[in-house]
Amino acid sequence: MSEKEKKYLLDILMAIEEIERFFGGTYNFNDFKSNMMLKSAVERQLITVGEAMNRLLAINANISITSARNAV
């Protein structure tokens, strides 16, 4: 695996961990839905995941990540 591939995977991991921190261990859709700041923060991290996944797939279209295209 190339260094670029590792970097994009790390970007994805960090974005997911950031989303988990936003929720503080409590995953409540109603809280998410009613909190514009939380929604914006999560959406920004999901954009990061999509961009990193897209770049990763551009380098290695055969990477074994379930539903990779759906994430983009």
Q: What is the pLDDT of residues 27-60, one digit of tens each?
A: 788 888 899 999 999 999 999 999 999 999 899 8
CA distance 58 to 9: 13
pTM above 0.85, yes or no: no
- Does an H or E element contain 65, and which? none
pLDDT at 40: 95
The region of weakest confidence among 7-11, 35-39, 61-65 is 61-65
pLDDT at 70 over 80: no
User: Domain locations in the chain?
Assistant: 3-71
Greatest Cα pair distance, the chain, in angstroms, is 41
